[in-house]
Chain A
Amino acid sequence: MLQSDKLLEVQNLRVTYRFEDKKIRAVDDVSFSIREGDRFAIVGESGSGKSTLGLSIVRLCPGEASGSVRLNGIDILKLSQEELRKLRGSDISVVFQDPSSALNPVLRIGDQLIEVFTTHGYDKTEAYTRSAKLLETVGIPEPEKRLMSYPHQLSGGMKQRVIIAMAIALNPKLVIADEPTSALDVTIQAQILKLIKELSETKKLSMILITHDIGVAAEVCNEIGIMYAGRMLEIGTFEDVFHNPKHPYTQSLMTCVPKGLKCVLKPLPGNVPDMSNLPSGCKFHPRCPYANDKCKTIEPKLEKADGRYVACHAVW
């Protein structure tokens, strides 16, 4: 097997949802890659397809996916169900948005944490000791007692710590965090974000962080991809994209400069596009201040410019 320095390589990924007679392409021709140790932020408004993209990497999305998603050269989209099952939770794990609905309400925290180990071959006693230790790692006091608790007996922040514990349990090669803080109270958000940042540094986690909040991405990530209407519009290092955005859409996002963790968004003219009825050409052109005739007809491709990739006719 060819050993590249790329941990994850996504190529021409398309995800289509079917509703009776309608088809919606939530992710369209997306390509990007992550090296080991990268923390890649996927930033976009709600409905931009960023969660679909994130979950499709481990095929947790009900939509049909085409293209390729290679982890260390192995195409996840081609794995058998059993191979996929073995990969999930051990090689790639997920942190979900709302810890209240992501945890099973009728099972003890212990049951839900221990099964991550047991399903991947650990025996029960070892799974138990490791689970208790893990709760301590994510900052949950009295771990042995908490293992016996039910989710409703924990606060939202504690529940999210449990979800994070599950995600890092088997030292995965990649963690996909889907809006890990947006369902939480503001003060708790900061704590969870701090935990994620610490863990990603101490454990050298590679991570995809999906968020609508540039401030959150700024805390954790070194790479960033900007999504709009199912497409990647700009991909580069966080430094470049953040301080010197090229795509007009990225520029409009960056004008909402973070104040601490708060981010005041400057409203764009027009609306988030209707995914079942997308405009022709560049999907952003109806809202773009620089749009020209070419933008209305020909969809721009991601091209290298100034140290990052941008999909825009108007930048040069």
Chain B
Amino acid sequence: MIRLIPGDPARVLAGLMASEEDVELIREQLGLNKPLYVQPFTYMANLFTFNLGVSARTDSPVLYEVMARLPNTLALALSSTALAVALGVPLGVFAASRKSSKIDTLVSTFSIVGISLPTYWLGLIMITVFAVELHLLPAGGYGTPAHFVLPTITIALFLMAFIVKITKASVIDSMEKEYVVTARSKGLTERVILYKHILRNALIPVVTIIGLQFGSLLGGAVITETIYAWPGLGRLIIDAINNRDYPMVQGSIFIFALLYALVNLVTDLIYTIVDPRVRLG
């Protein structure tokens, strides 16, 4: 399907000054001279051996480039998820335990603001403030822990807002369950009731949502990585699209889908661990 993108990759690779023969040669190397309907099948056969072809632009193997970028994307996704969970879950629980109070309203408003802020805008503004005006942090790039700060916060804010919302709803839902009355009738302290009885139940859907969101977060990487010039998979995809580097687009999307499936699988596995009712299937 990606072959339908207008523009001839062989010509892009050969460069502006290349002769018609050079272009033809490259086309043959890439298998682009074969009929259009054969190409997907050869490609698919290659996928099973993780032979993703070579970049139409840099000539290096796609798998190599993708694998070089993958850890960067994962590192950013993990750091922002960690931050979002560390702040979002307690805040959601806190808001739920003070339901309908001023603090609850404040937290809820913050959470809607958080999910409504466009990441790309927030990113640009944070760069302007913290990098350009205050010179506190690097505007973009990769390497030191300081480089992590702005992109991590940018991504984490959205996720955190989402986690706050889900956690609050789930905790409130659990608070109204009958086993809470039972727990109270036994003479347990409110602390034990909240941490042992309510949270164990309330956090089950939260874990699932975090897993699913971690997946979409990988999708959002195309934006954050572009803003912060982060050398990750998302940036690779956007660059490849702009360069009409189909093998690279296909290869990185393939790895992306694998990763996404893996994340969803891990989420399912975690679900079976945290909820005893599904453990035995």
Contact = CB atoms under 8 A, between A and B. Distances in A.
Interface of A: 55, 58, 60, 81, 85-90, 93-94, 96, 98, 101-108, 111, 115-116, 119-120, 150, 152-153, 163, 166
16 contacts: A60-B181, A85-B188, A85-B189, A87-B187, A89-B186, A96-B178, A96-B182, A101-B177, A102-B178, A102-B182, A106-B200, A106-B277, A115-B196, A116-B186, A119-B186, A163-B182
A107 B200 contact: yes
Nearest to B180: A104
B178 A88 contact: no
Interface of B: 177-179, 181-190, 192, 196-197, 200-201, 204, 274-277, 280
A172 to B, nearest CB: 10
A87 B188 CA distance: 10
A11 B177 CA distance: 30
A124 to B, nearest CB: 14
Contact of B178 (A81, A101, A106, A120): A101
Given A85-B189, A96-B178, A98-B178, A107 B196 contact: yes
B187 A60 contact: no
Shortest Cβ-Cβ A-B pairs, 5 listed = A89-B187, A88-B187, A89-B186, A94-B185, A104-B179
B181 A104 contact: no
Contacts, number: 80
Nearest to A117: B186
Given A98-B178, A152-B276, A104 B183 contact: yes
A38 B189 CA distance: 30
Nearest to B185: A94
A107 B197 contact: yes
A90 B275 CA distance: 30
B277 A150 contact: yes
A89 B189 CA distance: 12
A94 B187 CA distance: 11
A108 to B, nearest CB: 8
A227 B277 CA distance: 39
Contacts of B185: 58, 60, 88-89, 93-94, 96
Contacts of B181: 55, 60, 96, 102
A81 B196 CA distance: 19
A98 B188 CA distance: 20
Contacts of A163: 182
A115 B200 contact: no
B279 to A, nearest CB: 8
Contacts of B200: 104, 106-107
A153 B280 CA distance: 10
A119 B179 contact: no
Contacts of A90: 187
Contacts of B184: 60, 88
A119 B201 contact: no
A108 B197 CA distance: 11
B178 A119 contact: no
Given A86-B187, A102-B179, A103-B182, 16 more contacts: A58-B185, A88-B184, A89-B186, A93-B185, A94-B182, A94-B185, A96-B181, A96-B182, A96-B185, A101-B177, A102-B178, A104-B201, A106-B200, A106-B204, A106-B275, A152-B277
Contacts of B204: 106
B187 A119 contact: yes
A40 to B, nearest CB: 18
Contacts of A120: 187
Which one of B178, B183, B187, B189 has the greatest number of beta carbons of chain A within 10 Å? B187
B78 to A, nearest CB: 27
Which one of A55, A85, A103 has the greatest number of beta carbons of chain B within 10 Å? A85
Nearest to A100: B178
B172 to A, nearest CB: 14
Contact of B179 (A87, A103, A152): A103
Contacts of A153: 280
